[in-house]
Amino acid sequence: MDITGVGIGRGTAIGPVVRMASALQEPADVERDGKLDAQAEIERVKSSLDAVKSDLSARAKAAAQGDKGAQQAAPILEALGQMAGDPTLLDSISDLIKQGKTADRAVFEGFAGFEQTLTALGGYMAERAGDLHDVGQRVIADLLGVSAPGLPQSDHPFVLVAEDLSPADTAALDLSNTLAIVTTQGGPTSHTAILARARGIVAVVSAAKADELSDGMTVIVSAAKSLIIANPSDEEIQEARAAQASAAHAKDLRGKPGALKDGTAIPLLANVGKPEDADPALEYGAEGVGLFRSEFLFIGNAEPPTVEEQAKAYAALLSRFPGKKVVIRMLDAGADKPLPFLTPENEPNPALGLRGLRTLKAHKQVLEDQLEALVEADRVTNAHLWVMAPMIADQYESEYFVKLGKSKGLKFVGTMAEVPSIALMANEVAEVADFVSIGTNDLTQYTLAADRTLGSVSNYQTAWHPAVLRNIKLIADAGKAHNMPVGVCGEAAADPELAVVLAGIGVTSLSMTPVALDDVRAELAKYTLQEAQEKARRALAGEFYHCAMLA
């Protein structure tokens, strides 16, 4: 039996299935025993909420001290703990108890109400509904005095199969025993996918038919093929082991510059989220940083960080890459990264609303402060700092930001291409920007009108689609005509086969999560520029996408 999903990374795993325990049963909707005092029950709920909040905070601290991938889960776990401490949620639960609900039923309904609100918002907020559900399950388990649904225990390595994993579960995974993760839900940008990728775990998500897999069944999980093979043949196992050996060989090239077989240079850079992420980037041989997300300085704060705080953080990153290219993205607030002091509340469709440069222009002081901090960090370090703004739609916005950045003293100022309109205006953009970096996650989302966080449309969330590739080619062609560098910093760059296509299209650099660097470097080395261009021609014609859809 073959089961398809969405592969995360390029790894291959072989092993027995261990299924994650089912969620707690829905508490019965019965009237509370009259002998139970409402206030006493409210206090019991408050105690359980506090216990869950403390537990998640402790997990966050432990994750922060763990491996590099686990560290990415720390702020997520801390945010979940804050959910448990939301006073509005407690008020809602308290009202339900006063109406006669049992404590566990009131918690169930209270959390469900908040989950529905997040789901209705769509996009990133809908993705958070699953996280909130996990918190509610933990509170109910504490009230009932039972173990919260979570990771199974096993004395042997296994392939974990689950409906989905909470950030708490993903952060707590025992990497020495977990061969792979398979989930029936989630998308390529869900927390499960993000954390699995960061921790280097083989994963296939959104595999709806994986609920047919049973405990002990031997499976092959191929992230590269987005495939799970149940009860594989000896030949299929040999092929999977050969893929594992090939992955091991890719490590031998670590530290060498990215290049095609004929020596055509394709610099390989790393996507990082905070200065500490420089460690894995350097470990995997990144030639610099192609995307530094500056949001970490703003998320979780009640007000923007000071110029001094920002300059210190930027300098900490730049100092780790002396003489190397470091691309820092301006604050990308809005859509899936709402900030209470910057983004509007209850925006009907935030992905198409006030985000990126649009938000910064509406909060000019935040924009000015960030530019000032970047100039100061550049002054005290010797990396090659490049700065770009997100969510730019055309040459007019590009020119506005480039002129502003240059007026502050920045040397290389560019544009992030995520909106399809920028591909249509690529020649004009190339006349005003020093470089363009293509964010394929959003470019794909907007080109195909498919929310990147929804598993139901995950088949559309692929940069292999010829419409997406043709947008990229328009930008690459404009870059070549105007001698302007064009990089890709979205998830597409982490797909080794797609990386070859991008090189053939004319992209001049690729930036990705550090753990993907080995595989991409090895795959590029298999092709000459002419061979990459031929593969790009076929991809632009839709040949590979067509095959993928028929599979």
Question: Which sequence positions are flagged as catalytic?
Answer: 191, 489
How far lies 185's CA from each of 132, 211, 454, in Å? Answer: 16, 10, 9
- Strand, coil or helix: what is 229? strand
- Strand, coil or helix: what is 325? strand
Exposed / middle / buried, residue 299 (Cβ in 10 Å: 0-12, 13-18, 19+): middle
Pair of tokens at residue 121: 């918002």
Q: What is the largest CA-CA distance in the chain?
A: 81
Residue listed under structure tokens 């076929």 = 538
**CB count in 10 Å sphere of residue 58:** 12
How far lies 90's CA from each of 50, 95, 287, 359, in Å? Answer: 11, 9, 49, 32
Left if phi > 0, otherwise alpha if psi is -120 to 50, otherwise beta: which for 288?
left
Please report, to the nearest 10 degrees, the dihedral formed by the alpha carbons of residues 255, 280, 161, 207 taken in order. Answer: -70
Strand order in the sheet with 178-183: 2-4, 227-230, 218-222, 12-19, 158-162, 178-183, 202-205, 6-8
Residues 349, 334: Cα–Cα separation, whole Å: 10
Q: What is the DSSP string of 113-164?
A: HHHHHHHHH-HHHHHHHHHHHHHHHHHHHHHHTSPPS-PPP-SS-EEEEES-
Q: Do residues 6 and 205 make contact, with C-beta atoms less than 8 angstroms apart?
A: yes
Q: Do residues 211 and 17 make contact, with C-beta atoms less than 8 angstroms apart?
A: no
Residues 460, 267: Cα–Cα separation, whole Å: 28
Percentage helix, strand, coil, to 5, in the chain?
A: 50, 15, 35
Q: Where are the alpha helices (DSSP H) in 166-233?
A: 167-172, 191-198
Q: Do residues 425 and 395 make contact, with C-beta atoms less than 8 angstroms apart?
A: yes
Residues 516, 502: Cα–Cα separation, whole Å: 15
How far lies 410's CA from each of 204, 299, 328, 379, 385, in Å? Answer: 42, 25, 12, 10, 8
Residues 309, 174: Cα–Cα separation, whole Å: 35
Q: Do residues 401 and 415 make contact, with C-beta atoms less than 8 angstroms apart?
A: yes
